[in-house]
Structure 1
């Protein structure tokens, strides 16, 4: 009996993916554990392993196909002893078409009649629509609404037939003024998004780039975060001189082992230790309950060609900074190659985003749901700084914590920022 190979769910949040590449061909013998294809999820490109054995008889989804829903049949295997040439695609075998046909034959002729009858009813609601979106400037739409003009009856003189002010100023209202006003209201309604290719069409040459699965996920999740999570922002300035001095000493000692600590490695440890000291911030809001974590798993923002991903340093508070450094180098390299496993970027109890290498002085990061906070770190720079009641020059870094105010009170967030600053300014606590 043919075996259906379906689009797998390679992560808990995956709903669809791109079948990037087939690594097998029709006629190939497949064993359990063989790599059959590369599939691009919303975060990474992953290898798909076979769980059944047989001969590949049919490929239903060609490589490069985007938006393949989880559970969709992508190929068919013939079992041992079956003739590949006679194997029907698994999807065709599961088609419910014959059953529907029999029901129609046995049912009275009048029975299906009520189904199509309601469909013509909405037709009058679309009086003079051409089927395409009317392209008009906001001013032209406003003038048309005031004059009761039907924009579908006006020929535009702007780029790509766009209706502009001059086109509507001399036009006279027609007989169907009421439907025209309704059409204009629909054009002006913010709830109806324009077509992507026409969103900002002012006659300016441009390219249209299709969004990747990762970019769609980033857009959706960050929009949800800003809409649903009440952010509170707290900023502290941290003097870096002691941390930079300790980093230099540690790197000199670790050089024979080929290890070189970055400032970011030390900040990962500082954030994890801060969360251990202030456990009220190592939490997640979960509806009518709160999740309180006993260890700090730090998600670290890494920029990759298609967007952003946050590989996780698990239990960072208990790890030596040399181990954190080695893990981050490995995670970042595999993140840029799209080779992270789901458990390496999904989860985490808090996040760290460092844009200091770009010269950014300070910024406020968006919380990565369902986490309760994210630390945004800016560049360390020479600034006037009061030391022992005298104005001196010091290396100073601004750090801003974004906190989910449903889960973390301002006072608790302030305690975390205080603990973070103290660890940065007295960094021997990081090696204790």
Structure 2
């Protein structure tokens, strides 16, 4: 019996996704767990894995086209099953077109779909100028329209490569690259007709400003951080950790491990998991219904990419060795920068680590990353004077600032957790056991 593959909800709160690329073709055999399609989100391009086995009988939503969550994107059929009949029985097409024409695009992804954003009157005029023949219609996917609007691309001048000459995201991206090659940076002066509340470029009074349109990822980061600051009561506490023993242990381990070199951050992530085990009351997540208590440490690690910051999650850090944690972090960072993270790698977790020490930053505070209760901002390890047993001496100190969701964790509990973390960092053999 045929099975419908539907657009998954790859990120919490998302009501739409876009097909970035199909990893399989019609007629391919698919097993449960096979990566079959890349779905574009605000934060990453996520690989979606098959939840059922069969033959990919029909791709309903082609690459470059967006569809609402839950909409059919493909059909799996069993061996020997008639594809056309199965698709027709499932009601995914409005009927075959004329001879030689492709089937009609399903309602879920057509321009008539409620999920497709309807441009305002001024946008429509910009995208479909009066020179267009009367009655002519511009076919473009919702994400293509959005991308074109964000980058100032006139859809009327593009030739679509999608079904029935539909303009896709890839067509718009190609137009953006051509425009950038011709004029790498466009300098725009804000027109006088633009209201002050919504300028297209900032005026400095001494020259023209440069407007670089926001990417979808940058908009998502801005939205999430604004929501965090506005809705999550946060406070910070600081620990200055003496890390001479940790640096010596790291050097010794790296001298032994020829294939893989561990970073200070790998030890920090492992120490975070150890502190969550030492203070299990802090391994929680706030929900409106109640406090969710976790039995393992899933730690997110902030990774800087060209598009912005993303926080993939290392699962069950407590059960892994430091080298295994380091390998996991390196793999996640590589996939994050290539926009190849899976859905499972960007969801969940209870705690975040953000490290700017490699840039020489001595100390900073970070914004809590909901639903995580805490984020540890790690600075550079620097030589500083410290007092030991009443005597002044030099030591290597690493400042760590813990930002806390006060709804989930109170000050005393946060202090206990930070003390447990500091103890493990300053006595790093505890990290290894």
TM range (shorter): 0.5 to 0.7
Query: How many Å apart are 1:280 and its aligned residue?
Result: 2.4
Whether 1:207 aligns to 2:214 is no
Q: Give the equivalent residue in structure 2 for 1:231.
A: 234
Q: What is the DSSP-based 3-state SS (H/G/I as helix, E as strand, rest coil) of the residue aligned with 1:222?
A: helix
Q: What is the DSSP-based 3-state SS (H/G/I as helix, E as strand, rest coil) of the residue aligned with 1:378?
A: strand
Query: How many Å apart are 1:35 and its aligned residue?
Result: 6.7
Partners of 1:236 and 1:261 lie apart in 2 by: 23
The RMSD of aligned alpha carbons is 3.6
Whether 1:70 aligns to 2:69 is yes
Q: Give the equivalent residue in structure 2 for 1:338.
A: 339
Q: Deviations over 1:283-338 (max 9, x none)?
A: 11112411122222111111122222222222222322122122222222222222
Partners of 1:76 and 1:13 lie apart in 2 by: 25
Partners of 2:16 and 2:256 lie apart in 1 by: 48
Partners of 1:277 and 1:206 lie apart in 2 by: 51
Q: Give the equivalent residue in structure 1 for 2:168.
A: none
CA contact (8 A) 1:215 1:307 kept: yes
Query: How many Å apart are 1:205 and its aligned residue?
Result: 4.0
Structure 1 unaligned segments of length 5 or more: list them.
98-129, 133-158, 165-186
Query: How many Å apart are 1:259 and its aligned residue?
Result: 3.0
Partners of 2:412 and 2:213 lie apart in 1 by: 45
Partners of 2:320 and 2:374 lie apart in 1 by: 21
Partners of 1:419 and 1:92 lie apart in 2 by: 56
Q: Give the equivalent residue in structure 2 for 1:89.
A: 104
CA distance 1:418–1:72, change in 2 (3 Å): same
Partners of 2:83 and 2:297 lie apart in 1 by: 54
Q: Give the equivalent residue in structure 2 for 1:162.
A: 192
What is the total number of aligned residue pairs between the two structures?
Answer: 338
CA distance 1:49–1:391, change in 2 (3 Å): closer
CA distance 1:49–1:235, change in 2 (3 Å): closer
More displaced 10-residue stretch of structure 1: 241-250 or 198-207: 198-207
Q: Give the equivalent residue in structure 1 for 2:221.
A: 218
Trace 1:351-390 onto structure 2 (pairs within 5 A).
351-390=352-391
Q: What is the DSSP-based 3-state SS (H/G/I as helix, E as strand, rest coil) of the residue aligned with 1:204?
A: coil
Query: How many Å apart are 1:392 and its aligned residue?
Result: 1.3
Q: Give the equivalent residue in structure 2 for 1:18.
A: 18
Q: With structure 1 as the length reference, what TM-score do the two structures score?
A: 0.67
Structure 2 unaligned segments of length 5 or more: list them.
86-95, 113-120, 124-188
Q: With structure 2 as the length reference, what TM-score do the two structures score?
A: 0.67
Trace 1:191-340 onto structure 2 (pairs within 5 A).
194=198, 198=200, 200-201=202-203, 204-212=208-216, 214-255=217-258, 258-340=259-341
Q: Give the equivalent residue in structure 2 for 1:107.
A: none
Q: Give the equivalent residue in structure 1 for 2:419.
A: 418
CA distance 1:423–1:404, change in 2 (3 Å): same
CA contact (8 A) 1:365 1:376 kept: yes
Q: Deviations over 1:20-54 (max 9, x none)?
A: 235678xx545545876532123332345676746
Query: How many Å apart are 1:7 and its aligned residue?
Result: 3.6
Partners of 2:250 and 2:109 lie apart in 1 by: 63
User: Which structure's CA Rg is the greater one?
Assistant: 1
Q: What is the DSSP-based 3-state SS (H/G/I as helix, E as strand, rest coil) of the residue aligned with 2:257?
A: helix
Partners of 1:311 and 1:49 lie apart in 2 by: 18
Partners of 1:81 and 1:252 lie apart in 2 by: 59
Q: Give the equivalent residue in structure 1 for 2:117.
A: none
Partners of 1:316 and 1:81 lie apart in 2 by: 45
CA distance 1:41–1:361, change in 2 (3 Å): same
Q: Deviations over 1:28-85 (max 9, x none)?
A: 54554587653212333234567674655x8665x445x6432456678997374974
CA contact (8 A) 1:350 1:371 kept: yes
CA distance 1:414–1:94, change in 2 (3 Å): closer
Partners of 2:275 and 2:371 lie apart in 1 by: 20
CA distance 1:94–1:342, change in 2 (3 Å): closer
Partners of 1:222 and 1:17 lie apart in 2 by: 22
More displaced 10-residue stretch of structure 1: 398-407 or 295-304: 295-304
